[in-house]
């Protein structure tokens, strides 16, 4: 199989040349355009998630030989979560080569975080199936790059950290409220307010509820730390 010019350019951005290019094509084929003769990328996504997890777990152990399991687990989660995979996908401009059905394309599928994250995992699996674990590991470590060493020393998500802060002071868990939702369906914008029982609050806006909640929790934590200081 000969790859199109845009697929060949994507290989260059990945830094990996497929011996079986049909694997790359499948990895970039979304379910919205699949058929009985054209498989989608869901099975590869399943495998890629596991390959990525093994590479990241090994990399984190090497990066900090004294870290406890309790320290490593949140760092791991930060590196393999869908948002991070989508960021890496944007880094290599994966969206431009995604194969989508017309409706998904019209609704902005090339920019959707979930689609980008899933496809990035599928591409990892395609590399693994094509060139083996060492090839997949090399690509992952290069693309994730400084993220591995810059992940916060304590990468607990902000919502967990804020809940622990409240519980340590005898307060109920923080309450999250959707203040507003705007934008088109394919690119929504959510504003979330997080509030403690003592009345202190913060708000944040993001492209998903989860991101907005995390950002609001982080903003409130920053405020609390500033007041303590």
Query: Taking 90 as the threshold, does the pLDDT of residue 153 lie above it?
Result: no
pLDDT band at 103 (very low <50, low <70, confident <90, very high): confident
Mean pLDDT of all residues in 221-229: 78
pLDDT in the model for residue 154: 46
Find the distance separating the first CA and the last CA of the chain, reported in whole Å. 62
pLDDT in the model for residue 95: 94
pLDDT in the model for residue 61: 95
Query: Taking 90 as the threshold, does the pLDDT of residue 156 lie above it?
Result: no
Kindly compute the dihedral angle of the four CA atoms of residues 44, 116, 34, 42, in this order, to the nearest 10 degrees.
Answer: 30
Q: Is 121 annotated as a binding residue?
A: yes
Query: Taking 80 as the threshold, does the pLDDT of residue 85 lie above it?
Result: yes
Whether residues 132 and 147 fall in one domain: yes
Query: Taking 70 as the threshold, does the pLDDT of residue 155 lie above it?
Result: no
pLDDT in the model for residue 152: 66
Q: Which residues are catalytic?
A: 49, 121
pLDDT in the model for residue 214: 86
122-126, 166-170, 225-229: least confidently modelled range: 225-229
Whether residues 119 and 30 fall in one domain: yes
Whether residues 176 and 194 fall in one domain: yes
Q: Is 45 annotated as a binding residue?
A: yes
- Number of domains, the chain: 2
Is 91 within 8 Å of 61 (Cβ atoms)? no
Query: Residue 171 sits in which domain range?
Result: 158-227
pLDDT band at 229 (very low <50, low <70, confident <90, very high): low
Is 61 within 8 Å of 94 (Cβ atoms)? no
Q: What is the domain-level CATH number for residue 208?
A: 3.30.160.20
Whether residues 109 and 44 fall in one domain: yes
pLDDT band at 1 (very low <50, low <70, confident <90, very high): confident
Average of per-residue pLDDT values in the chain: 90
Q: Which residue has the higher pLDDT, 227 or 164?
A: 164
Whether residues 132 and 173 fall in one domain: no
Q: What percent of the chain lies above the pLDDT cut of 70?
A: 97
Q: Is 118 annotated as a binding residue?
A: yes
34-38, 81-85, 159-163: least confidently modelled range: 34-38
Mean pLDDT of all residues in 27-48: 91
Q: Among 96, 124, 152, where does a domain finish?
A: 152
Whether residues 176 and 113 fall in one domain: no
Mean pLDDT of all residues in 199-223: 88
Whether residues 75 and 172 fall in one domain: no
Query: Taking 70 as the threshold, does the pLDDT of residue 91 lie above it?
Result: yes
Mean pLDDT of all residues in 127-154: 90
């Amino acid at each position: 199989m000969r790859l199109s010019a845009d697929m060949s350019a994507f290989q260059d951005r990945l830094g990996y040349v497929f011996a079986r290019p049909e694997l790359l094509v499948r990895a970039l084929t979304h379910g919205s355009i699949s058929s009985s003769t054209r498989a989608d990328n869901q099975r590869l996504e399943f495998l890629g998630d596991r390959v990525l997890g093994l590479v990241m777990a090994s990399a984190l152990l090497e990066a900090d030989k004294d870290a406890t399991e309790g320290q490593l687990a949140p760092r791991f989660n930060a590196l393999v979560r869908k948002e991070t995979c989508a960021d890496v996908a944007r880094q290599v401009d994966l969206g431009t080569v995604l194969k989508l059905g017309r409706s998904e394309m019209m609704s902005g599928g090339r920019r959707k975080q979930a689609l980008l994250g899933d496809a990035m995992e599928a591409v990892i699996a395609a590399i693994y199936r094509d060139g083996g674990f060492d090839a997949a590991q090399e690509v992952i470590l290069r693309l994730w790059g400084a993220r591995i060493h810059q992940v916060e020393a304590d990468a607990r998500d902000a919502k967990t950290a804020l809940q622990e802060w409240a519980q340590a002071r005898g307060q109920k868990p923080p309450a999250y409220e959707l203040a507003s939702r705007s934008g088109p369906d394919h690119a929504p914008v959510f504003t979330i307010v997080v509030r403690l029982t003592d009345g202190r609050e913060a708000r944040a806006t993001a492209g998903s509820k989860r991101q907005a909640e995390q950002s609001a929790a982080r903003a409130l934590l920053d405020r609390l730390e500033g007041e303590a200081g």
